Structure 1
Amino acid sequence: MRGARAAAPAATAAALAVVAAVHLGALLAGATTAVHMSKPALMPLLAAYVLARGGPRLLVVGLLFGCGGDTLLQTGRESLFLVGMGSFAVGHVCYLVLFARHGAGAARTYRLAAAYAAVWVTVLALLWAGLEADLRVPVALYSLLLTVMALGATRVGPWAAAGGVLFLLSDTLIAGGLAGWPQAPAPQFWIMLTYIAAQYLVAHGLLTHLRTGQERTKGAGRKPPGPFAARRGRQSWTADRASTMP
């Protein structure tokens, strides 16, 4: 049983890597069926990896809402686009709760918060004119929530912070397509590459932060030897030395 539990994180991580590779390869090859079959499996596999590592259930919930967003956006129906965006938004709220609960203090500096705010304002200003009128407010609100989530990720270490930045990049690529920005070749490939990496890094960063905190707590629980213990140690060493003398 213990061996199976120890192997579970590696097995789920390997399965995620395989499905991610299939999905990205299918995007490049234009294999629509493989794309549609593999995309909804990505976040559940990452959620299984989190569970296998003993991660918090709220992180699993956030990832599953990401799966909901993936599935809804994949339909291509305009009526479901905002619903899918809302599903992602719930996932971001889950992450924010986790960052607030387990993060190291408040957001690190006012300068960092100002930098993220400046990025949000700049990108939104560039997008605004190209967005359809009924998308402007939802995109503005969602992108604000995403930016706050990315800032919050800096509270749990560099891995999660990198994931937050990649999430911003991935969703900016999506919004740029909606606003009619010039697109790179195979735009969906780059969107999904940055998105998969973002979700993994956020999850991995939070798990690493929690594990480090647990190790520090255990270390703090070990009391250093007191003066009497040190004295007994010296007396024992003296006695041993005396017993060995001719």
Structure 2
Amino acid sequence: MREIFKKKHELWLKVLFSAFALPKGEISDVLLDFADIEFRHMKWIAKDIVKNRGDFNFDRDKIDIKANNFYELIDKLIDSLLAIEISYKDSALFYRIKNDERYMIEKLREFKKFEDFEITAFNKNMKYKNLDKKSLDALILFLFEEIYKEYELILVYFYSSIHTDNVSLYSIYEDLIYESKFHLKSFAFLQAKLGLLSLPREVMEEVYKFEDLKKFLLDGIEEEKGAKEQCRALAAAVKDKDLSSFFEFINNQEDYHIKLMEEALKIID
């Protein structure tokens, strides 16, 4: 089951970042829905592992998400979905997962009725509107840092949610996962426009398998405050009204993340 979980983690990332590689629209929306389903599969498998007194981690093998054109991207996803099915066991859980993914394969094959087109998310064009070099450099650095941070937070809160019996804490973790997924999506679509879309680096076990939850939350609050400052600085540095407004919006959301984490601290105390 741990090996299956690892493969599902990799598959979730493949589907998710394939969605980011496409222009926003009907097909990317479908892939985002599929990624959410894959994430739910991960949760069910993780719960099963822990219920049977095991544990899991977020180790992963090298993942190739790059594609030169739309058909290549779709074919890679189909191949990944077909390859993982042979690992599945005979149970109600995997019957559900198999049927979900068979439907995904069917929909992906239907997408090839559309005309092929070039994928530009990996071409390193490093252009966005008419940003000057200073603004562009600040934006690129921010995106790389924040995409990793949001991915890390998703995994940390995922791991914590699987290992808690406290309903109130679980609810807070779920909210924080949802928020980080939204931020990751927003930042990754921007990264793709710059032609720099790439997977965040792997998260080490010591990051999410911590001994002191209270210390983790206190450190997390400080990290959120730091993220707020980065957003504020970027909003001021980037000479683009829409981007500045967007980063102010993200900055304001970080305020509520801090409140959620403070609520979690109260529950622990």
TM-score by length of 1: 0.31
Q: Which has the larger radius of gyration?
A: 1
| RCO higher in structure (CA 8 A, sep ≥6) | 2
